[in-house]
Structure 1
Amino acid sequence: MSAAAGTDAEWTQLRSVSAHGRSLAVAPRVEPITVDVCTTDPLSRAGIVAQLLPRPEVRLLTNPDSEARVLVLVADAVNDHVRVQLLRAQCTSGTRTVLIATEIDAEQLLSAAECGVGGVIRRVDVTAEHLVDVIISVALGQGHLPGDLLAQLLSEVGRVQREVLSPRGLHATQMSPRERDVLRLMAAGHDTASTAAALSFSERTVKAALHAVMTRYQLPNRTAAVAYAMRQGLI
């Protein structure tokens, strides 16, 4: 079975097993997630590689021509150079991105979301367990944000709506109540199963709503869909 062939349930169980430090023997057999690490300095790369190398859930790529399932990008901040790297990963492959940032504010977070970032971790919060858990989430098409950054993002989205979009009469209106409800729960950290349970939908219905939004607005993943909805003041 290839990494892409693992089901959501299998990877979710693998993530749960990893997070609780139990033997991976109880998890379904799935291929390790292929990961590429990109940094601006050799010391940062060495640190991330040292954390990931012993982990059976991931397989680090050494061939620069190989396409990783997840890119771990380490940067001090979301500047123009980082945005170019993020956009290149989004546009030229199916690779999803985890951003490890030394400093990041709400404006930079919006910029990163627009570039297709699937997960964000502050450098001071990086541990092997946490990083692997986020990589698995992002590989599943889910997202990750620290709670305080989510609060900043919501505040920034509200400011943009009030100060930039509303004065120009701009507001997205082509999203159904069902799609908004799904995205609202996703923004609060729910996965597919818990979103379906909360709304009394099937998981297939939740996935269909997400797919409809991503297709309509040409968004690369769930995180970008949530960020778009928040940026437009829809959730």
Structure 2
Amino acid sequence: MTDTHHQEKIRVVLVDDQTMIRQGLGYVIQMQPDMEVIGEASDGDEAVALVGELNPDVVLMDVQMPNKSGIDATREIMLLHPTLKVLILTTFDNHNYVVDGIRAGAVGYMLKDADSQEMLDLIRRAHQGEALFHTVTAAKALAEVLQTQQPAPDTTPQASYLLDELTDRELDVLQQIAYGYRNDQIAQNLFISEGTVKTHVHRILQKMGVEDRTQAVAMALRQQLVK
């Protein structure tokens, strides 16, 4: 049983080549009782090294940086630290960035001019294992990744086993999770109670052998369980 009074803070690493952006984001994050900035990097290479050294919970990752882009850095980081949560941070609501970010393993996408409360909400929800693609561009991009240019289907025994194991309703719920919907939204969309959604989500995670929704979506994409 963990003592909630000593809840550990969400450990955040900031990656951006602009010092002022890092300072601004860092200031807001440090003011929160439940999170802290444990490191900063100004390019993708630094980011990969820093994450290896500090093992944060969440990384805010800029896209366009010298030496190594945020997308490449995200790809490398996710291979080494598959449970880490990366939020892509960008100035532009750019379709390609979102598609590339999702493919690289990012769990979400945030515009730099987002409201600070929205940013903090995204960090907390990413930490809890939600997939967060908030903008219209992101929603379209996610749909595109799900429909086209999929990674090669996973033909391991586990993949076909999963298709047999998951019920039609569980696949419906998994599809909704892949679109980034919360439990209450999934309940409305599928005309079922929120309690039923929670039960389905729990079973899906159990059957897929994953810890959270983001990992479930990543595996579902690889195994073409969602479209």
**For 1:2-21, what per-residue CA distance to the aligned partner results, in whole angstroms no more than 9, with x for missing partners?**
7xx87xxxxxxxxxxxxxxx
TM-score by length of 1: 0.66
Q: 1:158 to 1:91 in 2, by over 3 A?
A: closer
Deviations, residues 31-51 of structure 1 (Å, cap 9, x unaligned)? 221111111232221121122
Q: Structure 1 residues 58, 88: CA separation in 2 closer, same or farther (over 3 Å shift)?
A: same
Partner of 2:226: 234
Percent identity between matched residues is 19
* Aligned CA distance change for structure 1 residues 91 and 227 (closer, same or farther; 3 Å): closer
Once residues 146 and 183 of structure 1 are traced to their aligned partners in structure 2, the CA distance between those partners, rounded to angstroms, is: 18
Q: What displacement does 1:135 show? A: 0.6
Is contact 1:52-1:132 (8 Å) kept?
yes
| Relative contact order higher in (CA < 8 Å, ≥ 6 apart) | 1
Matched, 1:90 2:75: no
Letter in structure 2 aligned against 1:123: K
Q: CA deviation at 1:202?
A: 6.5
1:51 correspondence with 2:28: yes
Asked if the contact 1:86–1:116 (Cα under 8 Å) also holds between the matched residues in 2, the reply is: yes
| Offset at residue 133 of structure 1 (A) | 0.6
Describe the superposition over 1:31-89 as per-residue Cα deviations: whole angstroms up to 9, x where unpaired. Answer: 22111111123222112112212111211114943211111112348x96222211232
Q: Does 1:110 align with 2:119?
A: no
- Residue ranges of structure 2 left out of the alignment (5+ in a row): 41-49
Give the aligned length.
201
After superposing the two structures, state which structure 1 stretch, 53-62 or 128-137, moved more.
53-62
Counterpart residue number, 1:39: 16
Q: Which runs of 5+ in 1 are unaligned?
A: 7-27
Maintained 8 Å contact 2:173/2:197: no
Tell me, in whole angstroms, the C-alpha distance in 1 between the residues paired with 2:8 and 2:153.
Answer: 49
- Determine the structure 2 residue equivalent to 1:182: 173
Q: Deviations over 1:171-192 (max 9, x none)?
A: 9976332332122222454335
**Partners in 2 of 1:81 and 1:102 — Cα distance?**
14
Separation in 1 of the partners of 2:119 and 2:105?
A: 18
Residues of 2 paired with 1:139 and 1:34: CA distance? Answer: 9
Paired position in structure 2 for 1:152: 140
- 1:70 and 1:189 mapped to 2: Cα distance? 18
1:144-177 residue CA offsets vs partner (Å, 9 max, x unmatched): 11240343125524762xxx67xx9999976332
CA contact (8 A) 2:142 2:179 kept: no
Aligned-partner Cα distance in 2 for 1:169–1:223: 18
Q: Using a 3 Å threshold, how does the CA distance of structure 1 residues 147 and 228 change in structure 2: closer, same or farther?
A: farther
Structure 1 contact 70–95 (Cα < 8 Å) conserved = yes
**How many angstroms does 1:221 deviate by?**
5.6
Higher mean displacement: 225-234 or 81-90: 225-234
Partner of 2:90: 101
**Preserved CA contact (<8 Å) 2:183 2:194:** no
2:186 pairs with 1:191: no
SS at match of 2:61: strand
